[in-house]
Amino acid sequence: MTVVGVDVGGTGIKAGLVDTDTGALVGERIRVLTPEGGAPEAVIAEIARVVGMLGADGPIGVGLPGPLSAGRLMMMANLDPSWIGLFAQEMIATATGREVILVNDADAAGLAEMRFGAGAGCHGVVLMLTLGTGIGSALFVDGHLVPNTEFGHIEVRGKDGEDRAAPSVRERKGLSWAAWVERLNEYIDHIDKLVWPDRIILGGGVSKNPEKFMPMVRARPPIVTATLQNNAGIVGSALRVAETLSSRSAPQP
Ligand code: BGC
């Protein structure tokens, strides 16, 4: 099936029509800037605009940068805090006129990598980290997602991990790649000591340029770069829709 996936980040909103059997984008990928400040009304209006530009009908999957429970955001670090507690699912459905299935953005990226990318066929405990404006995490146990892990907020040196080790911090502070990777290595080591994953996948915007940092990354478990790169969030949001629809049509016990 083909499904529209939308990936909402602190910097950009990306969307595309996804063939959920192959993970390929059908037609163009759209990227617009996240409205300054990230207020819900403005972001939702942009989501509606990009969905309108894609034109296909049917339910849409939307990846949002915060933990979700029953269609609401429970916390928000990289968009306006007024998202917290909002019935985002309902609001986006009203604005787009579509059924909306929400998923955490990093969970979406992880779903896509586990199915079509660097995690395909991997068993055991796999941790995907998305490195962008913030740091997102998606944890898989034998291919099953444990949703809403928020490892970007693990404390390192008394600070939120993402406030020390996200690529946006490197840019903001003008750090060299080597200085940033030192922070990243320390951050990964903290998570490793809590989770002991069998494999780590690094995704997000920086995974487009792995040569800049991967040779300096040191971690106990095998660590690889994501292969779907910036499309993972779009693809995974669409996959979430396909999964939800197929679980609805499965025979009930
Ligand atoms: C949020 C996560 C999100 C990550 C990447 C963090 O600040 O708390 O939910 O996955 O940023 O966008």
- High-pLDDT (> 90) share of the chain, %: 92
**In 142-226, beta strands by DSSP E:** 144-146, 155-156, 159-160, 199-203, 223-225
Of 68, 105, 153, the residue with max ligand 1 atoms within 8 A of its CB, to mutate for a pocket test, comes to 105
Distance in angstroms (rounded) separating the CA atoms of residues 248 and 227: 30
pLDDT tens by residue, 41-53: 999 999 999 999 9
Residue 249 in this model has a pLDDT that exceeds 90: no
Distance 253 CA to ligand 1 centre (A): 36
Check residue 171 and give its pLDDT: 96
Is ligand 1 within 6 A of the CB of residue 107?
A: no
Distance in angstroms (rounded) separating the CA atoms of residues 73 and 105: 12
Residue nearest to atom 9 of ligand 1 (CA): 66
Is ligand 1 within 6 A of the CB of residue 38?
A: no
Is ligand 1 within 6 A of the CB of residue 67?
A: yes
Residue 240 in this model has a pLDDT that exceeds 70: yes
Residue 118 is which amino acid? A
Q: Is the sign of the CA dihedral 206, 207, 211, 216 positive or negative?
A: positive
Residue 37 is which amino acid? G
The chain-wide mean pLDDT, for the chain, equals 96
The H or E element containing residue 237 is: helix 232-249
Residue 128 in this model has a pLDDT that exceeds 80: yes
pLDDT tens by residue, 130-160: 999 999 999 999 999 999 999 999 999 999 9
Residue 195 is which amino acid? V
pLDDT class for 253, splitting at 50, 70, 90? low
